[in-house]
Amino acid sequence: MKTILVMLRSGADHWSKRLRQALPNHCVVTDAAAAGGRVDYVVTSVPPKGALAALGSFEVLFSINAGVERLLAGGEVPPTLPIVRMVDDGLSEGMLEWVVATTLAWHRNLFDYREQQSTLTWKPWAEKLARHRTVTVLGAGHLGAPVAELLAQIGFRTRVWSRSPKALKGVASFDGPDGLAAALDGAEILICLLPLTPATENLLDESIFARLAPGSILINCGRGHHIVDQALIDALDGGQLRAAVLDVFREEPLPRNHPFWHHPRIYISPHVAAPTHPETAVAAIVENLRGYEAGQPLKHVVNLAIGY
Ligand SMILES: NC(=O)c1ccc[n+]([C@@H]2O[C@H](COP(=O)([O-])OP(=O)(O)OC[C@H]3O[C@@H](n4cnc5c(N)ncnc54)[C@H](OP(=O)(O)O)[C@@H]3O)[C@@H](O)[C@H]2O)c1
């Protein structure tokens, strides 16, 4: 019988109960000692320092997060261990809802009207149709691609930027470092759904903001380290950006003394765009595990050479 260790700071009992129900022929534990020290699979987020090494060798690590940069940053993951990142319908649906809600709210100036209400101000903004607005989505993977396709379906002139070219319905595709400028030029809403890797860290700087249409909107639900914080504040203060909607930050929770909290044009949410839902996430792990044990290749294995 194979043993699955659920190593989570919170919710471990909930996850293990669901895994036990779905995989009655596996032993699911929340403590390595309970398995007599032998573990085959680990389900985790960011394990405590030294915890993975203490387990000895095991077959597969299942991350409950889509982004694995913090897991990799510890330097404790053996280079030959397959790391499966979270790809599941719940994450994609959640991100789709959050990004489309946020994009439409800005497209139709809803936040500005709410602010104007506080001063009894009756001031219509220019109300465009989606077909007259260009939106660029950085990252066209499991989260970015459905977002871009739905925005295109709503009517936005939609572009994506990724490492490799994409064929998405109604969406213009740009790829690689050479395609970035064309993906950005004149866009009015920029959505970041990239993974954090050495190639994407600090990507969103002054030069990127300068390519957008003046008065554009930035929506970041990738990772905080994608943004050069001071460049964002400068772009907002100078008017190149009209607002920034930020779900992720270099340090989370965002420290109380961080200038983002008090900036009138920054809108903060506490990393909630697409939380992992155990019900859909466990189903994704179980499907992948069953396939693996039946001799199929694991799906969604992180490529350690490129970091996602
Ligand atoms: N805020 C939240 O609640 C939340 C929740 C979940 C995830 N996230 C973030 O969303 C990220 C994306 O998740 P995902 O599942 O969509 O990942 P994914 O399926 O791996 O997609 C990543 C996309 O980024 C592109 N990309 C990677 N490096 C690039 C580079 N150097 N230049 C250009 N494009 C690059 C990839 O290009 P290719 O297609 O060519 O490989 C791919 O299209 C996660 O890593 C995480 O940081 C945030």
Tens of pLDDT, residue by residue over 228-287, are 999 999 999 999 999 999 999 999 999 999 999 999 999 999 999 999 999 999 999 999
The verdict on whether 265 is a catalytic residue reads no
Whether the CB-CB separation of 26 and 33 falls below 8 Å is answered with no
Q: Which is catalytic among the residues 223, 225, 226, 242?
A: 223
Probe residue for ligand 1, chosen from 69, 161, 193, 268 as the CB with the greatest number of ligand atoms within 8 Å: 193
Residue nearest to atom 34 of ligand 1 (CA): 162
Q: For residue 261, count CB atoms less than 10 angstroms from its CB and return exposed for 0-12, middle for 13-18, buried for 19 or more.
A: exposed
- 190 against 79, higher pLDDT: 190
Longest dimension (CA), the chain: 69
- Is the confidence at residue 33, as pLDDT, over 90? no
Higher pLDDT, 75 or 285: 285
Least confident of 50-59, 114-123, 175-184, 241-250: 50-59
pLDDT value, residue 34? 80
* 141 Cα–ligand 1 center, Å: 6
- Ligand 1 contact via 192 beta carbon (within 6 Å): no
Q: Calculate the alpha carbon distances from 172 to 30, 106, 165, 290, 296 in Å.
A: 46, 22, 10, 37, 34
Mean pLDDT of 155-174: 98
- Average pLDDT of the residues in 144-157: 98
Q: What is the DSSP string of 37-62?
A: T--SEEEESSPPTTHHHHT---SEEE
Is the CB of 224 within 6 Å of ligand 1?
no
163 lines ligand 1 (CB under 6 A): yes
Kindly report the protein residue whose alpha carbon is nearest to atom 7 of ligand 1.
66
Pick the atom of ligand 1 nearest to 162's CA: 34
Q: What is the pLDDT confidence band of residue 156, given thresholds at 50, 70 and 90?
A: very high
Structure tokens at 178: 């050479």
Indicate the pLDDT class of residue 23, thresholds 50, 70 and 90: very high
User: For 137, phi and psi rounded to 5 degrees?
Assistant: -110, 120
Q: Other C-beta atoms within 10 Å of 162: how many?
A: 23
Active site residue 20: no
How many CB atoms are closer than 10 A to CB 108? 14
Find out whether the beta carbon of 164 lies less than 6 Å from any atom of ligand 1. Answer: yes
Q: Tell me, what's the pLDDT at 75?
A: 86
Residue 32's pLDDT is: 86
User: How close is the Cα of 116 to the center of ligand 1, in Å?
Assistant: 36
- The residues pairing with 224 across neighbouring beta strands, listed in sequence order, are none
Ligand 1 proximity of 303 Cβ (cutoff 6 Å): no
Name the residue type at position 129. L
Q: Please state, for a pLDDT cut of 90, what percent of the chain lies above it.
A: 95
Cβ–Cβ under 8 Å, residues 215 and 244 = no
Q: Which residues contact 151 (CB under 8 A, 6 or more apart)?
A: 99, 100, 103, 130, 135, 137, 158
How far apart are the C-alpha atoms of 21 and 186, rounded to whole Å?
51
Instruction: Please determine, for residue 78, whether its predicted confidence score (pLDDT) is greater than 80.
Output: yes
Residue nearest to atom 38 of ligand 1 (CA): 163
pLDDT band at 188 (very low <50, low <70, confident <90, very high): very high
Paired tokens of 217: 């909107």
pLDDT bracket for residue 108 (50, 70, 90): very high
Which band of pLDDT confidence, cut at 50, 70 and 90, is reported for residue 227? Answer: very high
Neighbouring-strand partners of residue 62: 43, 84
